[in-house]
Amino acid sequence: MKIEKLKILYVDDEASNISVFKTVFNRHYHILTAQSAAKGLKILEQHPIRLIITDQRMPNMSGIEFLKQAKQKWPDIKSILLTGYADIEVIKEAINDIGIFRYINKPFDFREMKSTIDGALQLYQLDIDKNKASIVLKEKANKFHNIFKFINDVFIRVDNDGFIEMISPSVYELFGYKPEEVIGKGLKVFMNEKDRNNGLLQIKETGSSNNFETDLYTKDNSLLHVLINSRMQRDEDGIFLGIEYLIRDVTAFKLQQNTLAEHELKLKRFLDNAPVGIALNNMQGKFIEVNREFSRFTGYSVNELNNLSYWDLTPDEYHAQEQIQFDSLEKNNAFGSYDKEYIHKNGHRYPVLLNRVKINGKNGEALIWSAVQDITKQKKAEGTIEIKKAITLLESKNKELEQFAYIVSHDLQAPLNTISSFVGLLEEECKDKLGDNADIYLNFIRQSTKRMKSLITGLLEYSTIGSKRTLEKVNCNELLSLIEDDLQVLIHEKGAVVTCEGLPEIQAYPTEMKQLFQNLIGNALKYSQPDVFPIIHISAKKQDDGWLFKFKDNGIGIDEKFKEEIFIIFQRLHNKEDYEGDGIGLAHCKKIVELHKGEIWVEPNPNTGSVFYFTIKTN
């Protein structure tokens, strides 16, 4: 091995020894010298030394003491100890204690010294190369481990004999096996013979298998519905090494697809049977969706309306007034009740009462929900006074419809987070792996979530407020558990901790209580401080006529001057760019609490969090 001309420090208190050593070895190495240990330490601070050769017996500080100090700061440096005394025990202790490469008795043979120096420098280089290789391997291992640690999919590699040689730790979460339980075994622990043969046949024909859908067995013999992607592994010479599999549990995904389809059907039935006309438009007025009642009083079929615009139904003289309403919509996100006329398909005009609210669609585009009521009969049947009275009744009802529409725009976002996260994970982690079928699945989800049919529960909840209902026993601990399940994705993303104490079982309206809890917890998660994990603590205290609930968080807090304003519908304290939402959550909370004959208030505390209180009357 060719030795580079590297820096060596020679320390000796005798000047003649230094002169001789430097003369002999300076042509082979870059020699730096010092006549004391103290001077040697200074040289070490200034130069990248690879080898120290030092005399043992020196005044003030011995060679061993010098090497101890040097090794503490530069542990990779190799060292040779020169001694003219037979102090073997001290030398042995130094070799074990500070790792001296070798000791040489004085006077030394220069050829022996040259050989020893070369050996020490070679060992130094080997250690450096080993450390570099170890760092590279450790970095690769850490990356591999981190990938395994944070993915829910199961990665399996089998050798060319079909035996599992590597498997990710996630196999325990999905299948109940510890990795060591299945390494060395065949895929038959998960898959029946027919599916194994079908998958292998496809891999042999194409070199890979994309989105192979099947059921796999867990350790307790239950079944998981999965998608499997696999590919054949070969070396540089094309020799078959084995197969890699990526397995994803889509059991919940399938269930959510079925649930979305059910919600879509239920919401369609609800909208079609609603007693008022309901329409969804884009900001240019084009109809996106209408219900049966809207189709009935306009005279157009649903398909015909989907090819028309809002302006096709509006007389020209209303355009200026419409612009005022649209300005209000842009500013306040809502307008109405608004009395105007529509043009029927047959050309005649008739009066309608209109309420509108602006919402954000799946892709962030602005949309308009409209609740429209044909008031022709009221106009004809009643005189001027009676018409005003009828309008006041309709305005009251439409306020309810307005609230109903706001819940669509607000509460739709929370239950869709889980679905959106699944789509995000599929796109980010497996964009180039899932193949053409994945696009079909993802498109199905996008279409379903875009239509927001999963909000049927929220829509029905709000529509029943103020109508017939029955008080039931509500276990608040169980209620909180259900909400944590609904918000699990957001809680995980925020790193939030939700705790509780003293939550009771009370007589209440279950649906409304769930929405009340969910809105308060959702706000605490939304308005958390940057880089601070949200902590939400919920407690309750018995009172003479009911219960006092307390929701405490460590978020951004609320200014004292806004403590009343936040409960007014559409009142927002922050820009949508900073915090999304339409400002209706706390207004809804207030209505639910008042439904239970209670009160709700907040103790503002900017920058350190908020404490929300509300009472529920039980007497």
Chain mean position to CA 98: 49
So what's the pLDDT on residue 41? 92
User: Quick one: fold of 256-414?
Assistant: Beta-Lactamase (3.30.450)
pLDDT tens-place string over residues 582-594: 667 788 889 889 8
pLDDT at 547 over 80: yes
User: CATH 3.40.50.2300: which residues of the chain?
Assistant: 7-130
Chain mean position to CA 407: 25
Q: Is residue 478 within a helix (H) or strand (E), and if so which, with residue range? A: helix 476-486
The rounded distance, in Å, linking the Cα atoms of 215 and 199 is 13
CA distances from 201 to 162, 189, 290, 436 (A): 14, 19, 50, 20
Q: In sequence order, what are the residues at sequence separation of 6 or more whose Cβ sits closer than 8 angstroms to the Cβ of residue 294?
A: 277, 278, 279, 305, 372
Q: Is residue 79 within a helix (H) or strand (E), and if so which, with residue range? A: strand 78-83
Q: In sequence order, what are the residues at sequence separation of 6 or more whose Cβ sits closer than 8 angstroms to the Cβ of residue 549?
A: 538, 539, 540, 613, 614, 615, 616
pLDDT tens-place string over residues 386-396: 656 655 685 66
So what's the pLDDT on residue 615? 93
So what's the pLDDT on residue 43? 92
Is 419 within 8 Å of 450 (Cβ atoms)? no
Is 259 within 8 Å of 419 (Cβ atoms)? no
Q: What mean pLDDT comes out for the span 125-135?
A: 72
**What confidence category does residue 598 fall into, taking pLDDT thresholds of 50, 70 and 90?**
very high
| Greater model confidence, 284 or 8 | 8
Instruction: Identify the weakest region by mean pLDDT among 3-7, 168-172, 543-547, 569-573.
Output: 569-573
So what's the pLDDT on residue 456? 46
CATH architecture of 465-617: 2-Layer Sandwich (3.30)
Is 354 within 8 Å of 375 (Cβ atoms)? no
pLDDT tens-place string over residues 405-446: 555 555 555 566 667 666 666 666 666 666 666 666 666 676
Is 302 within 8 Å of 292 (Cβ atoms)? yes
Q: Residues 49, 54, 56, CA angle at the centre, nearest 5°?
A: 150
Q: What mean pLDDT comes out for the span 458-485?
A: 74
476-486 vs 510-526: helix axis angle to the nearest 10? 50
**What confidence category does residue 347 fall into, taking pLDDT thresholds of 50, 70 and 90?**
confident
Number of H helices, E strands in the chain: 21, 22
pTM: 0.33
Sheet of 223-234, strand order:
164-167, 154-159, 240-249, 223-234, 208-217
pLDDT at 134 over 70: no
Work out the percent of the chain whose per-residue pLDDT is above 70: 73
Which of 608, 504, 614, 518 lies closest to 567 in space, CA to CA? 614
So what's the pLDDT on residue 611? 92
Most confident option among 29-33, 126-130, 397-401: 29-33
| Greater model confidence, 50 or 283 | 50
Is 367 within 8 Å of 271 (Cβ atoms)? no
DSSP codes, 391-436: HHHHHHHHHHHHHHHHHHHHHTHHHHHHHHHHHHHHHHHHTTTS-H
So what's the pLDDT on residue 411? 57
So what's the pLDDT on residue 462? 47
pLDDT at 92 over 80: no
So what's the pLDDT on residue 569? 67
Most confident option among 231-245, 553-567, 568-582, 591-605: 591-605
Instruction: Identify the weakest region by mean pLDDT among 88-102, 121-135, 421-435, 499-513.
Output: 421-435
Beta strand 51-55 with 366-374: parallel, antiparallel or unpaired? unpaired
So what's the pLDDT on residue 538? 94
Q: Which CATH superfamily is domain 7-130 in?
A: Response regulator (3.40.50.2300)
Most confident option among 307-311, 461-465, 562-566: 307-311
pLDDT tens-place string over residues 497-528: 999 998 999 999 888 899 899 999 988 898 88
pLDDT tens-place string over residues 228-247: 888 888 877 778 778 888 88
| Amino acid present at 455 | L
Q: Residues 216, 219, 225, CA angle at the centre, nearest 5°?
A: 25
User: CATH 3.30.450.20: which residues of the chain?
Assistant: 151-249, 256-414
User: CATH 3.30.565.10: which residues of the chain?
Assistant: 465-617
Residue spans of alpha helices (H) in 74-192: 88-98, 110-150, 171-175, 179-182
Is 506 within 8 Å of 532 (Cβ atoms)? no
pLDDT at 458 over 70: no
Q: In sequence order, what are the residues at sequence separation of 6 or more whose Cβ sits closer than 8 angstroms to the Cβ of residue 516?
A: 589, 592, 593, 614
pLDDT tens-place string over residues 142-167: 555 555 555 678 888 888 777 888 88
So what's the pLDDT on residue 469? 67
Q: What mean pLDDT comes out for the span 259-281?
A: 72
**Mean pLDDT, rounded, of the chain:** 78
CA dihedral angle for residue 154, residue 417, residue 363, residue 449, rounded to 10 degrees:
90
So what's the pLDDT on residue 614? 95
The rounded distance, in Å, linking the Cα atoms of 187 and 522 is 44
CB atoms < 10 A from the CB of 413, how many? 19
Query: Token match 């419409």: residue?
Result: 322
CATH architecture of 151-249: 2-Layer Sandwich (3.30)
| Greater model confidence, 597 or 463 | 597
Q: What mean pLDDT comes out for the span 52-72?
A: 88
CA dihedral angle for residue 543, residue 564, residue 481, residue 171, rounded to 10 degrees:
-150
The rounded distance, in Å, linking the Cα atoms of 53 and 78 is 9
